[in-house]
Structure 1
Amino acid sequence: MTQSLSSAQEILQNLSSGRRSAVTQMEETLARIEAVNPDVNAIVALRDRDDLMAEASAADLATTRGALHGLPMAIKDLTNVAGVPSTQGSPLLADFIPQHDDLMVARLRAAGALIIGKTNTPEFGLGSHTFNPVYGACANPYDRTRSCGGSSGGAAVALATGMVALADGSDMMGSLRNPAGWCNVYGFRPSWGRVPNEPRGDVFLHTLSTNGPMARSPEDLALLLNVMSGADPRQPLSTTAALNEPVSLQPAIGPMRIGWLADWGGSYPMEPGILDTCEAALDVLRELGHQVELLTPPFAAERIWQSWTTLRSFAVSAGLRVFLEQKQQLKDSAQWELERGLALTGREIQAASDLRSDWQRVAARLFTQYDALVLPTAQCWPFEIDLDHPGVINGTDMDCYHRWMEVVAPVSLLGLPCLAAPAGFGENGLPMGLQIFAAHGQDQDLLALGQAYHTVTRWPERRPPT
């Protein structure tokens, strides 16, 4: 097996046993990036080679070794890494170099990871299409004329092309799920609170986004999730005891009852071939002994959307308000979210929260009948890279920049754990994925289900064209 196909578990076992040195691993990683990255633009702000080789050499001499010791990783460019440009894809932050690591990065370093640079992301992470005026667009490795998704697009592409073995991402509106589906890798949105967000600013009101792992197998997802997880006293949602227990994929999960929500009874327009591809993947779950049933929509999609768009604008505008005086320098979608969010009334925000609570009560009942639910990771195939976003899906006009991503909102609104798993390829040769989600706290069962599925399908081994 070539280095670019090796799992993170394999690489780390070789590093731990001495069969491979951190220096060799770094050399091969940088060589792979040099060969592949110019065509896809996934790795940005790559650090100085001599500095990286010195850190790898020091790792080989270290006596204390964490779970990720000697493994090169690149961090999504929405997260601060000390000494590395942290632009968030915005010209307003093009020269910003943080002096301190964010909490998640500090945990990765403590586990022995070697931070080599950043992965590309949309401006401020808005829109599931990775392009920005600082670094440019990141291409889909299976068709470089098309989008790789986002906002963790650079992370997904770096994994799919073998430039890294593990990657971090973040997910508000499918940012760990959509690019995983479009790049034929795995992404995992953990239960709210398992991976604490950066403890700055408000820590109570805006509970829509979470960090999470990406990898080429659920087993590797679990490895990284355990490093990222754990309570932080500054984040009240991270203190639930059950969410601080390490994830283990053994023993394997028993038969599950799974509900297939398809296009939510026609509420989510889908391009041709997506549901067929996902249903073929569901047959694999049936062959593994799980019961899969088509469900009628359990809740009105428009009510979920109404709640989601209000609470999202409320949260996004809170983060962007520091740029209010430079608003005209933000991209259109950021300006739209900022203006919309700042115009919301307390009554409108409360009404949106009431709708979310209604959906939570329905979902809680549904999860007493089903162990997991399934949706596609996207409503369209990867679109042309020079588009900002799709305006029409299968004849239905999209009324805002993120309506085409509506299929991810039921999970995001409730902060449910969700595995994005490769579903295979359409007749167009492009990848698609499944969202497999469950009740809050069921992260381990989802990853165990995913690992059994991966053992049979091994989709990430279908490599992008050279």
Structure 2
Amino acid sequence: MSANSTNELINATACEIRDRLVQKDIKPTELLDALEDRIQAVDGPVNALPTLCFERARDFAKHLETKPIEERGLLAGIPVPVKDLTAVKGVRTTSGSPIFADRIPDWSDVLVETMETNGAIVYAKSNTPEFGAGAHTFNPVLGITRNPWDLSKSAAGSSGGAAAALATGCAWLAHGSDMGGSLRNPASFCGVVGLRPSMHRLSDGPGTSPFQTLSMQGPMARNVADTALLLDAMVGFENINPLAQPSPETNFLSTANKKTKPIKVAYSPDLGVSPVDPEIAEICKNAALQFETAEVIVEEVTPNLIDAPEVFKRLRGLDFVVGLGPLLDQHPDKLKEDIIWNIEYGRSLSAEDIAWAERKRGEIYYSIQTFFNEFDLLICPTTIVPPFPVEQRYVSECAGQKLDTYIDWLAIVSTITLTASPAISIPCGLTKTGLPVGLQLVGKPQGEGPLLSAANLLEEILPKIQTPINPRK
């Protein structure tokens, strides 16, 4: 494939690619050729997609090409990388851990099966921190993922490989997951879009804790409409997930494309739970106020979420005991210190400690429901700092305030996790040094459609953050 042809495809949106596939203007195998060329050209210093499976992808694509176009699924053959925490049959899936460095599952997660049924072609696994723990993508098996906007900076995490792949044109769409911001943080750092859906909007599994309510799968892309397209390809009720939600009657892309404006939105500079870098705060506030150009009322209001960081810390600790506690018992020398801390903290909690967290989470949920009776959206910064040096394990200080643990700097996103609301990060500006900044928009539970529609409207108003880019030193 010529360089011009590759560049033309790489720079296209996922919706444009899908239209061309449906019109049979291009073939899925041509998209794989373009991606392979692009990955070879730019991914080396970034390390977004350390595990490739193009042979499997081409077999799938050739099979897809034998079907009538109406039987090729919603995506019609768009390639999609899957985060390295999620099983893909026959593809190395390490979870970033030495314990599973050579694991090749003989089954795929039900979400992967859903995407493939809807015409997604898996061609790579995107990098993640060890077991997805932490918002900086590095692990002892597959190394560090660097931010393509500045290779000396972090791509955030835990879906850091997915975000960096999108930013460099090594993906049009990408799968990720999010407990305390893992779809939203890397989207902010890499200048792309990440959506955490409502609780169990998507069916996944099997897993160690099917009844958990913190970690959710979700879509990432370079713009809001493309994100909605992938969300549509991910939804689907499956009994393997005991809390699965039914599919909506109206697809998310058509709702997003209406760009329906909200009536009144709330902007909070910090959710009352975290310090925020002054430059980030200014960029995000100015971006939120751009809604006023569409005659949307914007008020600076902060709901009462003050207990959320402690609630999240306790419930996260419990989840780590459930999911990873046995691995600590079996392999105490093969887990990073942050994971060991999380598990040991979880084990130190009493029943009353956990009961308090569950009661408080209920109060947070009901409080945010009342809040959404008055406001259509809650808006705040996605991340509290710009991308930080890649050698740094996590943010330990912000705006003169010390942060004790590796999850403290994530309070502005992990707080929203507790509300069960969908949340999206969209690019909203650049720092003085040219690094992306994300704005977090939060909608009502089960309200992905209105959220995507409003985000699409604001994306149209805000200055465009151009991606894909070539990696920058």
TM-score range for the pair, normalised by the shorter chain length:
over 0.9
Of 65-74 and 348-357, the range deviating more from structure 2: 65-74
* Residue of structure 1 equivalent to 2:181: 174
- Note the aligned Cα RMSD (angstroms): 1.7
CA distance in 1, matches of 2:144, 2:312: 27
Q: 1:67 to 1:242 in 2, by over 3 A?
A: closer
CA distance in 1, matches of 2:219, 2:446: 16
Give the TM-score, by structure 2 length: 0.93
CA distance in 1, matches of 2:289, 2:103: 49
Q: 1:67 to 1:279 in 2, by over 3 A?
A: same
SS at match of 2:429: strand
Letter in 2 for 1:128: A
Q: Percent identity, aligned pairs only?
A: 34
Tell me whether 1:58 sits opposite 2:63 in the alignment. yes
Give the TM-score, by structure 1 length: 0.95
Q: Indicate if the aligned counterparts of 1:230 and 1:243 stay in contact, CA closer than 8 A.
A: no
SS at match of 1:236: coil
Tell me whether 1:349 sits opposite 2:335 in the alignment. no
Tell me whether 1:445 sits opposite 2:434 in the alignment. no
Structure 1 residues 83-119: Cα deviation after superposition (integer angstroms, max 9, x where no partner): 1111000011001100000011001111122111200
CA distance in 1, matches of 2:324, 2:403: 24
Tell me whether 1:294 sits opposite 2:300 in the alignment. yes
Q: Indicate if the aligned counterparts of 2:191 and 2:437 stay in contact, CA closer than 8 A.
A: yes
Letter in 1 for 2:406: Y
Q: Indicate if the aligned counterparts of 2:261 and 2:457 stay in contact, CA closer than 8 A.
A: no
Q: Indicate if the aligned counterparts of 2:312 and 2:418 stay in contact, CA closer than 8 A.
A: yes
* Residue of structure 2 equivalent to 1:311: 315
Alignment of 1:12-51 (within 5 A): 12-47=18-53, 49-51=54-56
Letter in 2 for 1:288: A
* Residue of structure 2 equivalent to 1:85: 92
CA distance in 2, matches of 1:243, 1:349: 34
Q: Indicate if the aligned counterparts of 2:429 and 2:465 stay in contact, CA closer than 8 A.
A: no
Structure 1 residues 202-225: Cα deviation after superposition (integer angstroms, max 9, x where no partner): 333x21011010011111111111
CA distance in 1, matches of 2:332, 2:396: 24
Q: Indicate if the aligned counterparts of 2:165 and 2:171 stay in contact, CA closer than 8 A.
A: yes
Q: Indicate if the aligned counterparts of 2:365 and 2:420 stay in contact, CA closer than 8 A.
A: no
CA distance in 2, matches of 1:255, 1:117: 38
* Residue of structure 1 equivalent to 2:102: 95
Q: 1:458 to 1:230 in 2, by over 3 A?
A: farther
* Residue of structure 1 equivalent to 2:438: 433
* Residue of structure 2 equivalent to 1:371: 376
Aligned residues: 460
1:227 to 229, 233, 236: 233
Runs of 4+ residues over 6 Å off in structure 1: none
Q: Indicate if the aligned counterparts of 2:156 and 2:186 stay in contact, CA closer than 8 A.
A: yes
Structure 1 residues 19-62: Cα deviation after superposition (integer angstroms, max 9, x where no partner): 11222211111000110110200012112x45544443333222
Displacement of 1:449 in angstroms is 0.8
Letter in 2 for 1:328: D
SS at match of 1:329: coil
2:389 to 370, 384, 396: 384
Structure 1 residues 255-301: Cα deviation after superposition (integer angstroms, max 9, x where no partner): 42110110235x41112300111022113211122111111x32152
Q: 1:255 to 1:112 in 2, by over 3 A?
A: closer
* Residue of structure 2 equivalent to 1:67: 74
* Residue of structure 1 equivalent to 2:203: 196
Q: Indicate if the aligned counterparts of 1:255 and 1:289 stay in contact, CA closer than 8 A.
A: no
Displacement of 1:346 in angstroms is 1.7
* Residue of structure 1 equivalent to 2:3: none
Q: Indicate if the aligned counterparts of 1:181 and 1:431 stay in contact, CA closer than 8 A.
A: yes
Q: 1:74 to 1:300 in 2, by over 3 A?
A: closer
CA distance in 2, matches of 1:347, 1:244: 42
1:360 to 365, 369, 374: 365
Q: In structure 2, list runs of 5 or more residues that go unmatched.
A: 1-6
* Residue of structure 2 equivalent to 1:402: 407
2:141 to 128, 134, 155: 134
CA distance in 2, matches of 1:94, 1:386: 23
CA distance in 2, matches of 1:103, 1:387: 35
* Residue of structure 2 equivalent to 1:412: 417
SS at match of 1:293: strand
Q: In structure 1, list runs of 5 or more residues that go unmatched.
A: none
CA distance in 2, matches of 1:77, 1:50: 18
